[in-house]
Amino acid sequence: MSGNIPGGRIEAALQLSGGAQNRAVLESWQRCEQRFGLAHDTLRRPEVISESQTRQLRDRNGRLYHHAHDLVRTLYRKIDASGYAVFLTDNSGVILDSVAAHSLLPSFRTNGLLPGAVWSEEREGTNGIGTCIVEGRPITIHKDEHFLAQHSVLTCTAAPVFDPDGKVCSVLDVSAVREDIKRPDCLRVRGMVADYADALERILFFDERAGDVIVHLHPDARHVGSTRDAMISIAPDGTISGATSTARRILAACDNSADIADMFEMDVDNLIAKLASPDGQGPSATPLNIAGGGVLFGSVTIPQRMRRRYVGRSTPVARKAPTLPARRTTDIPDTDAALRRIFEIGTRLHAKDINVLMSGETGSGKEYLARHIHDATLGKSKAFVAINCAALPEGLIENELFGHAGGAFTGAARDGFGGRIREANGGTLFLDEIGDMPLAAQGRLLRVLESRTVEPLGSTKSVPVDFRLICASNVDLNAAVAEGKFREDLLYRIKGARLAVPPLRERSDLADLIGRLLAALSDEYVACSDDVLTLLTAHRWPGNVRELINVLQYAAVFAEDGVIGPHHLPDDFVAMQDVAPPSPGQTIARAEADALRQVLDDQQWHISNTAKALGIGRNTLYRRMARLGINRR
- pLDDT grade for 112, boundaries at 50, 70 and 90: very high
Provide the pLDDT for residue 111.
93
- pLDDT grade for 579, boundaries at 50, 70 and 90: very low
Of residues 440 and 197, more confidently modeled: 197
State the average pLDDT over residues 15-28.
68
pLDDT digits (tens, 9 = 90+) for 414-439: 445 667 888 889 999 999 999 988 88
CA distances from 388 to 432, 487, 493, 495, 501 (A): 5, 18, 19, 18, 17
How far apart CA 570 and CA 555 sit, in angstroms, is 7
- pLDDT grade for 308, boundaries at 50, 70 and 90: low
How long is the chain?
Answer: 633
Q: Please name the residues in contact with 630: beta carbons below 8 A apart, sequence gap of 6 or more.
A: 506, 593, 596, 597, 600
pTM above 0.85, yes or no: no
Query: Lowest mean pLDDT: which of 300-309, 362-371, 463-472, 535-544?
Result: 300-309
Strand partners, 231: 216
How far apart CA 54 and CA 262 sit, in angstroms, is 44
Most confident of 299-308, 325-334, 485-494, 580-589: 485-494
Most confident of 159-173, 174-188, 334-348, 468-482: 159-173
DSSP code, position 145 = G
What are the φ/ψ torsions at residue 85 (nearest 5 degrees)? -130, 155
Q: Please name the residues in contact with 432: beta carbons below 8 A apart, sequence gap of 6 or more.
A: 366, 367, 386, 387, 388, 389, 390, 471, 472
Q: Note whether 133 and 171 are within 8 A (CB).
A: yes
Provide the pLDDT for residue 87.
97
pLDDT digits (tens, 9 = 90+) for 88-107: 999 999 999 999 988 889 99
- pLDDT grade for 156, boundaries at 50, 70 and 90: very high
Provide the pLDDT for residue 405.
67
Provide the pLDDT for residue 325.
35
- pLDDT grade for 239, boundaries at 50, 70 and 90: confident
pLDDT digits (tens, 9 = 90+) for 160-216: 999 999 999 999 999 999 888 888 878 888 988 998 898 889 888 887 887 788 888
Residue in 447, 458, 439 with CA at minimum distance from that of residue 421: 447
Q: How far apart are the first and last CA of the chain?
A: 52
105 by Cβ neighbours in 10 Å (0-12 / 13-18 / 19+) ranks as middle
Phi-psi sector, 194: left (phi>0), alpha (psi -120 to 50), beta? alpha
